[in-house]
Every structure is written in C-alpha cells, then in structure tokens.
C-alpha cells in the first residue's frame, strides 16, 4: 500500500491561494449570495437494521461457510444502526450483472429523484417550470439520456432548462454541486438553480468479492436522494433564516488518485477505499481549512454549524482532531451515519436539511459544509444563516 507523504499532498492551487488567490470563490463585491430556498431528502421505503444487512452481505460476498468474525466486527464498528436500500433484501441475490444493477438504479433513481426534487420545489414555493438550471449528480449508475433529462420531461420543466449531469465526483458532489450552482447564480442572479443527488450505493455491492474495500463499503453505504433549490439574493436582503453560500474552495491533491473511487469492469463498480484516507484527511484538512477561513477573517472557532460528510467514524475522528473541534461539533454527521449510513453525495444535503429543520442556527451565524471524494479532493462551502 502506497501512503503519500504530507509533502506530496500540497493542494493544486496557485501559490497565492491560501491568501485569497484563484483557489477561492470569494464573496461577490456587490453583496450577492446564494440562498438555499429549500433542501429535501427522499429515502427508499426498504429500511433495515445493520445486523440484518451484515448477514445479507455475508451471504452475497463471502464463500459458503466462511468465517464472518471480521465482517461482523466491521459492521459493528461502522457507526451505522439502520440503512435504506433501493430494493427489498431478497432481490439482491438475483442481480447477476451490471446491466441488471444499472437498470435497477435507473428505475429507483428516477422515482427517488422526482420525489426529492418535487418536495424541494414545493417547499421553496416553486414549480418545475421555474427551474433555469439543474445539476444532477450520481456515482452509482450511468444513463444517457441522463437522469436529469428524463426527469425534466417527466416533471414538466421548460424545454430550455439548462442541465449539467455529473459523474465521478462521488461523495464530494453534494458540497461541490452546491458550490457550482453558487458559481452559476453569481452570473445569473434572477434565476433558480436546482441540485439533485441520487445515490443507490447498495446496487454497487460486488457479489463474491471478499476484498476489504468491498466489505468496508458494504458496512457503511446506504441509499437515498436529496435536492436543493437555490437562488441569488443580496446579502443585505437575506433575512430569511435560510442558509446562504458566501464562499467556496475546491482542493485537489496530486498523486492520491489511488485512494478512493471505482474500478469499473464487467461486474460494474468495484469500490476502491484505501486505508490511508483518514491519514490524508488528518494531515491536510486542518491547514487547508484554516487557510480558507482566514481569507474571510474567520477561524474554526467562528463556525457554529459543521456539516461534514459522514465518510465513516475514522474520517470524522480525523476531521475533529485536525480542527481541534469541541465534543459534539460533528454530532449531525454521526447522527446521519447512524440512521441512514453514508449516502455518498446525498449525505451532506441530508445533514443540511436536518440542521435547518430541527436545530436552526442563529441568524448571522457561520456554518461550514465540507466533503471529500475521488481525486483525492475536498470541497469547502462557507455558509451564513
């Protein structure tokens, strides 16, 4: 296993980025922010306790009669209590190839995606024809026409709606997608943008594969969809109590491509999850996030709400230690992991919905959304309520 050294993990940003160079999207000089008008999640109806899934995954991935001690230990340490699956448990064994799993992803993904986006639009007081841009992300299936194209017609969006289907960002895509619609709305201030994440991770489980990466993925990942509806508003006019995107930063670390992603073959998406990921997160998140916040006159102590991708207990521990966070700062991520597992790009959006609905931050307080993904990459999104 090749573990990158800290010296080789310098982010791919210009030399001045830590002091406000091209690596940052800074606040608009005219005071425009991206207001999250609504965020909603849609989960499959099939919900199971972790111990039920442990035995199913043992049946699917291990040889008959194989010792399940390590598998059960992995599942017990994953921080997951329940998960939602795209299909009933008894249907997974019948999925014999990538064509079948991708067809299942398409059918379930369209239904969940429509539910999430419809709910978010209704909560924002909007309808499908009001949407000017839709960004649609998934790392668990592929389609052409893409999910967003199929949903545009199905939901009654305008024929001139702009679409950006995204594949390859993985778990970082919830935060990165919000950052990219922020980029768009800075130049299209009278428009409405939507972000849709559809992640059916259970359909990527590789049968008869007892590799550590496959077993770890099987212990952590769940299924779901989430949608954000956003528009631009002047900071002086933002008094709604809804979160607003103030600034963003994207970081891509060289020579780390082997840490996270897929190996794609006849069986579909075989997971790549390297044990060195928490070490990279622990080494880089602290200085990189502090540098980003410093550009805006902030430090981690100024952040009242942390929305962190629940990549797993070791990832969350690495983030908390790197930033010297107080106990409970990442409770929303631990709670999301416990009740629905790691839903890839949909997870941070689910946490944003949960925080906004159940524990609204004080008006004027700061929040920080962060996620990591294949590349290896990180996305920071500075929020203000």
Instruction: State the residue for tokens 């996305």.
Output: 379
Choose the catalytic residue: 61, 171, 201, 308.
171
Nearest by Cα to 130 from 120, 138, 140: 120
Query: Tokens in use for 369?
Result: 């959304």
Strand partners, 252: 377
Instruction: State the residue for tokens 């639009």.
Output: 121
Supply φ then ψ for residue 350, to 5 degrees. Answer: -65, -40
Contacts of residues 290-293 at CB distance under 8 Å and 24 or more positions apart, as own/partner, are 291/17, 291/18, 291/19, 292/18, 292/24, 292/247, 292/249, 292/380, 292/382, 293/368, 293/382
**β-strand 32-42 against 46-49: which pairing, if any?**
unpaired
Q: In the annotation, is 201 catalytic?
A: no
What distance in Å separates the CA atoms of residue 368 and residue 360, rounded to the nearest whole number? 14
C-alpha pair distances (Å), 205 with each of 224, 228, 246, 319, 362: 15, 28, 38, 27, 41
Cβ atoms 192, 80 nearer than 8 A: no
Cβ atoms 137, 196 nearer than 8 A: yes
Cβ atoms 161, 123 nearer than 8 A: no
Residues marked active site are found at 171
């Amino acid at each position: 296993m090749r573990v990158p050294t800290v010296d080789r993990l310098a982010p791919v940003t210009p030399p001045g980025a830590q002091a406000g160079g091209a690596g940052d999207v800074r606040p608009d000089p005219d005071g425009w922010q991206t207001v999250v008008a609504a965020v909603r999640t849609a989960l499959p109806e099939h919900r199971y306790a972790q111990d039920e899934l442990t035995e199913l995954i043992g049946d699917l991935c291990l040889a008959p009669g194989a010792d399940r001690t390590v598998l059960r230990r992995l599942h017990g340490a994953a921080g997951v209590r329940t998960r939602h699956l795209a299909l009933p448990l008894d249907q997974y064994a019948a999925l014999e190839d990538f064509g079948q799993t991708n067809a299942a992803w398409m059918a379930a993904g369209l239904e969940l995606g429509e539910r999430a986006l419809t709910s978010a639009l209704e909560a924002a007081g909007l309808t499908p024809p009001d949407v000017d841009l839709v960004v649609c992300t998934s790392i668990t299936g592929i389609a052409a026409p893409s999910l967003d194209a199929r949903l545009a017609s199905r939901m009654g969006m305008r024929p001139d709606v702009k679409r950006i289907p995204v594949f390859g960002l993985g778990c970082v895509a919830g935060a990165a997608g919000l950052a990219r619609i922020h980029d768009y709305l800075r130049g299209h201030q009278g428009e409405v943008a939507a972000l849709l994440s559809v992640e059916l991770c259970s359909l990527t489980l590789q049968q008869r594969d007892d590799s550590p990466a496959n077993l770890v993925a099987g212990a952590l990942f769940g299924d779901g969809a989430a949608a954000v509806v956003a528009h631009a508003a002047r900071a002086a006019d933002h008094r709604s109590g809804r979160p607003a995107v103030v600034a963003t930063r994207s970081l891509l670390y060289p020579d780390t491509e082997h840490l996270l992603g897929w190996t794609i073959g006849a069986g579909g998406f075989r997971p790549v999850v390297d044990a060195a990921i928490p070490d990279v997160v622990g080494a880089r998140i602290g200085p990189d996030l502090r540098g980003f916040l410093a550009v805006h006159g902030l430090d981690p102590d100024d952040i009242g709400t942390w929305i962190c991708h629940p990549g797993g207990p070791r990832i969350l521990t690495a983030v908390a230690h790197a930033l010297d966070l107080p106990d409970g700062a990442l409770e929303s991520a631990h709670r999301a992991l416990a009740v629905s597992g790691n839903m890839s790009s949909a997870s941070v959006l689910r946490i944003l919905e949960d925080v906004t609905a159940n524990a609204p931050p004080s008006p004027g307080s700061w929040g920080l959304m962060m996620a990591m993904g294949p590349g290896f990459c990180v996305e920071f999104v500075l929020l203000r309520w």
